[in-house]
Structure 1
C-alpha cells in the first residue's frame, strides 16, 4: 500500500478539480484500477491519470495497492480520509481549547474578588486608562465575546473609514446572531458615506438598529451596561475603560436621550434632517465659530462645510455669516409659531396680562 500523505491539507487544496472528481467517481464505481485502465476510461494519457490519482492520494481519498500485475489505485471512504487528514489536527486543537478553557476558568474565579474590590475603591480598576491601541482592541473584543444583552455605540464625525467597518462587521454580526441588541448612533453626514451605507445595510438586515443625529457627543461603546469605552482627548490610540456601575448607567441615560431624538439611518436627508442641519449651522455661524470647528462639530469635511455655508448665505440673502445665523433663527421661529396647537391641547390659563 502507498504511503499516506502527511496530514494538514489546507482548505483550498481540499477542493477536487473536475478531472479528479471523475477519477474518484470511476474508482468508486469500477473498483481498483491500474493507471493504464484509468487512462483508457478517462480518454487521457497514463501520466495524466497518475497525476490525477496522485491528487486524490494527497487528500487521503485514494490508496495505491501493489499486486502481481502492477500497482492499482483504489478509492478510500471520505470518512476515513477525514479521520486520517484532520484527526491529528483536531486532536491538537481540542487539547488547545481545553487549555484555554482552564485558563479562562481560573481567571474568571477572580471576578467576584475584583468586583467587590471595585465597589470598595475607585482606584481598584473601575476606571482604567489603556494607552496601547492593541490592548484596547483586545479588551473590546473580549467584552464583545462576553456580551449577552446590549451594545450601545456612538460614532461621531461622519462616515467611518472602510477598513474600520470591515473589521467591525464580523464582530457586530456575531453579536446579533447571539441575540444581543445593537444600537448605533451616527451623525447625519454619515448617510452619504458609501462604506457606512453598506455596513448599516448589513447590520440592519441582521436585526441591528442605526440612527443619526445632527450633533453628537464623543465616541462611546457600552457593553451590557457594565463596561464602557471612552476616548482619551489627547491620544487617539488610547481609551478610558469604565466599569463603575453608576457612571456607566449615566452614560446609558445620555445615550437613550440622544437615541430618542435621532432619526433612522437613510441614504439621504429628509426635510426634517436638512432643517436640523441648517439650524445647527446657523447657530454655529451666529456664535462666530470658525469653519474648521463647525465642520468637526457637524461631522463633515471642511470643503463640504464651506459649501453649506455659502449655499445658506445665498439662500437667505445674507451679507455676513452672523447675519445668516440671525436670519435663519428668525425663519425657524416664524415656522414654529405658524404650527397650530394640537386639538386636545388645554386652553391657556393666563389672564390678559399673562
Structure 2
C-alpha cells in the first residue's frame, strides 16, 4: 500500500497472488474495509481475508478481547508509521547533500575567481571566426610573432593581402616578426614582393625544405594551428606548456633554415643537382611517392616529377629503383646535411 522513497515497492500481497498492488495505493476492497472498521470500531477477521494487506501494513490489529475481530489503527498513527522512515531517508539525503556541498566549496571558490585562466584549447570553426581570433591576438601582441607558412610558389592573392593587413600594424608598433617558408617560396614573385615591403629589420624570413602545418604564435602566450587540411577549423592554444613546446619546435626549424636574403640554401653540386632536387632525393630514399613529395615541398606533382627526371639524368639512372640506389651511393645526402 506504500512505496519507498527510492521508487521500489516495499511489498505486495505475497499470500494472495490475485491481490497484488503497489504500496502507495489503496485497493478498493482495502479502502472499504478500513473505512468500515473506523466507523464501527472493528470488523470480523474473516472479512479482512479479501484484503490481507490491511494486516501486512498494520492498518488493523487483533481485538485483544476477541481474536475473531480486528480493530483499526488510527489514521494519524498509521500515517506517522509510514512517514517516519521516509522522513528519515529524506533527512539522510539532505545530510549527504550538505556534506558534498562542503567538500566542493573550496573548488567552487577557485573556479569562480575572476583571475582564473582562460580555456587552454578553443576550437575555432569557420574562416570568419578564425580570422577574428587572429586579429584579436595580433592586435594584443607586443613583442614577437612567429609564423610557419607552408606552401609552394603560388599563394592566393587574398591571403597575401590579409597577411599584409595583419603584419603592417605589428611592424609599426615595433613587434618583431619571424616567418618560415619552404624553399619553393624563393621562386614566388608575389611572395618575394610581399617580403620586400618589410625591410627595416623587424621582420625576418627564412626558408627550409620541409615544414609542418601552418603555425602562428603571439608573444609566446597564444598559438594557432589548423585542424583540417582545408583550414576551416583551427585550434587556439593558450596552455603555457603547449605554447612553449610549439615555440621550441619553431626555434628548432628556424635554426636549420636559411635566410631568404642569402640566396640558394646551399651550393649547387658540381654535377648540376639543385637544392630542391637534394630535398626530393632525400624523400625518394625515404620511400615517399611523388604526390607526397610534392605536397611536403610545396610544389605541384608535375614540377616534382620534372625535378625527379632531371635528378635521374644527372645520376645516370634508367629506373626509379636504380635512382634510389644511385642517390644513396652518391653521398649527396650526406653532403646536403
- Cα deviation 1:236-289 (Å, max 9, x = unaligned): 211111000010000001100100110111496354477553332112222332
Asked whether the equivalents of residues 153 and 222 of structure 1 are also in contact (C-alpha less than 8 Å), the reply is yes
Partner secondary structure for residue 225 of structure 1? coil
Residue 330 of structure 1 and its aligned partner are, at CA, apart by: 2.5
1:301 lines up with 2:295 in the alignment: no
Change (3 A) 1:115 1:286: farther
State the partner residue of 2:165: 170
- Cα deviation 1:142-165 (Å, max 9, x = unaligned): 111100001000001123222211
C-alpha separation between the residues in 1 aligned to 2:252 and 2:265? 21
State the partner residue of 1:264: 259
Change (3 A) 1:133 1:115: farther
Q: 2:178 aligns with which of 168, 183, 191?
A: 183
Asked whether the equivalents of residues 204 and 210 of structure 1 are also in contact (C-alpha less than 8 Å), the reply is no
State the partner residue of 2:148: 154
Change (3 A) 1:115 1:155: farther
State the partner residue of 2:289: 290
C-alpha separation between the residues in 1 aligned to 2:130 and 2:152? 22
Asked whether the equivalents of residues 278 and 332 of structure 2 are also in contact (C-alpha less than 8 Å), the reply is no
Asked whether the equivalents of residues 191 and 266 of structure 1 are also in contact (C-alpha less than 8 Å), the reply is no
C-alpha separation between the residues in 2 aligned to 1:224 and 1:335? 37
Partner secondary structure for residue 116 of structure 1? coil
C-alpha separation between the residues in 1 aligned to 2:175 and 2:186? 24
Q: 1:228 aligns with which of 210, 215, 223?
A: 223
Change (3 A) 1:302 1:267: farther
Alignment of 1:317-332 (within 5 A): 317-332=316-331
C-alpha separation between the residues in 2 aligned to 1:267 and 1:194? 16
Q: 2:202 aligns with which of 198, 203, 207?
A: 207
C-alpha separation between the residues in 1 aligned to 2:138 and 2:303? 35
State the partner residue of 1:198: 193
C-alpha separation between the residues in 2 aligned to 1:302 and 1:115? 51
Q: Which runs of 4+ in 1 moved over 6 A?
A: none
Residue 128 of structure 1 and its aligned partner are, at CA, apart by: 1.1
Alignment of 1:54-203 (within 5 A): 113=113, 116-118=116-118, 125-159=119-153, 160-203=155-198
The number of residue pairs the alignment matches comes to: 221
Asked whether the equivalents of residues 176 and 208 of structure 1 are also in contact (C-alpha less than 8 Å), the reply is yes
TM-score calculated relative to the size of structure 1: 0.58
Change (3 A) 1:206 1:163: farther
User: What's the Cα RMSD here?
Assistant: 2.6
Asked whether the equivalents of residues 286 and 322 of structure 1 are also in contact (C-alpha less than 8 Å), the reply is no
State the partner residue of 2:105: none
- Cα deviation 1:301-322 (Å, max 9, x = unaligned): 1111011000000110112223
State the partner residue of 1:255: 250
State the partner residue of 1:105: none
Asked whether the equivalents of residues 151 and 182 of structure 2 are also in contact (C-alpha less than 8 Å), the reply is yes
C-alpha separation between the residues in 2 aligned to 1:148 and 1:295? 37
Residue 117 of structure 1 and its aligned partner are, at CA, apart by: 4.0
- Between structure 1 and structure 2, the one with the greater Rg is 2
Partner secondary structure for residue 183 of structure 1? strand
TM-score calculated relative to the size of structure 2: 0.60
Change (3 A) 1:114 1:316: farther
Instruction: Kindly indicate which of the two structures has a greater share of residues assigned to helix.
Output: 1
